[in-house]
Amino acid sequence: MEQRNSNLAILREPFVAGMDENLSPIMHRLWKLEGGAIYFCRSGWAHVTIDLKDYEIVENTQIVLLPGTIIRVNGSSSDFTASFFGFPKEMFREACLRFEPIFFRFIKEKPCYKLPEENTGAINGLIHATTAIYNDRENRFRNQIAKNHLQSFMLDIYDKCYRHFDRREIEGGSRQDEIFKNFVALVHENCISQREVTFYANKLCISTKYLTGICKSVTSDSAKKIIDDFAILEIKVLLQSTELTIQEIADRLGFPDQSYLGRYFKRHEGMSPKEYQSKYSM
């Protein structure tokens, strides 16, 4: 992401943390996180869209945003406040080296969870401690301590997941559910450059017909629509929050030229990239 982003989308420090923050700086805009973030709602409510899914955030809701997540805040109450811990991808990778991949796939699918009041002590304590070390600029072990805190956060989240959700829900249900989850994970990773169903079917070692059948069974949408929805989301992020020209965006996303990108975008959104940029850019 380029220079118009807030520090929630790109970290200009090794990590960031704070208490009682509101969402006004990122309201009504798409943001793609290069790193990750953990939020904890302390008061009020907010409506957010995370990777195309809508969520209502209320007091004691924990939000875990993994690197690469795209978020939009659609609205919030005047008394909304949240504590947060933002971290770079490298810190996340080092802190979470030993965690099972299925755990992160589950977090990607269920980024928001309202904690019972009796289970909020750990996250409150960790956020207070992380904010304190963030403000202690002279601490020579500041980054290492933050990484240790991140690992503690993830261990606590791991514990809550396995305590409050059925193990089968975390680790996957039927074979079709497993394939669909793997498909969505692949789309998240590759939709910038790969927009054809064949690519994903080949990766999953199944036919395009079978993949589309699974997608329609789980979501009522075709595999192609799911791919296009995520690709359009990536294009919107670049149109809203970067200084790139439309030709540069076309080059970055692997479109043959600006005209091809324009036709693709207009077919899905009913307006040209330039019209969208004029309407929504910052």
Is 175-280 in the same CATH topology as 16-169? no
Higher pLDDT among residues 12 and 216, named by residue = 216
In the structure encoding, which two tokens stand for residue 241, read together?
């929050």
pLDDT over 50 (residue 23): yes
**Fold of the 16-169 domain:** Jelly Rolls (2.60.120)
CA nearest to 187, candidates 232, 218, 220: 232
pLDDT over 70 (residue 62): yes
Count of C-beta atoms within a 10 Å radius of residue 205: 7
Domain ranges for the chain, please list them: 16-169, 175-280
Q: Kindly report the pTM of this predicted structure.
A: 0.77
- Over residues 222-273, the pLDDT tens digits come to 999 999 999 999 999 888 876 788 999 999 888 988 999 999 999 999 999 9
Q: What percent of the chain has pLDDT over 70?
A: 91
What are the DSSP calls for the chain, one per residue?
A: --TT--TTTS-SSS-EEEEEE-SGGGBTSEEE-SSEEEEEEEES-EEEEETTEEEEE-TTEEEEE-TT-EEEEEEE-TT-EEEEEEE-HHHHHHHTTTS-HHHHHHHHH--EEEPPGGG-HHHHHHHHHHHHHHH-TT-TTHHHHHHHHHHHHHHHHHHHHHHHS-HHHHH--SHHHHHHHHHHHHHHHHTTT---HHHHHHHHTS-HHHHHHHHHHHHSS-HHHHHHHHHHHHHHHHHHH----HHHHHHHTT-SSHHHHHHHHHHHHSS-HHHHHHHH--
d(CA 7, CA 253): 24
- Let me know if domain 175-280 sits in CATH 1.10.10.60: yes
pLDDT over 60 (residue 65): yes
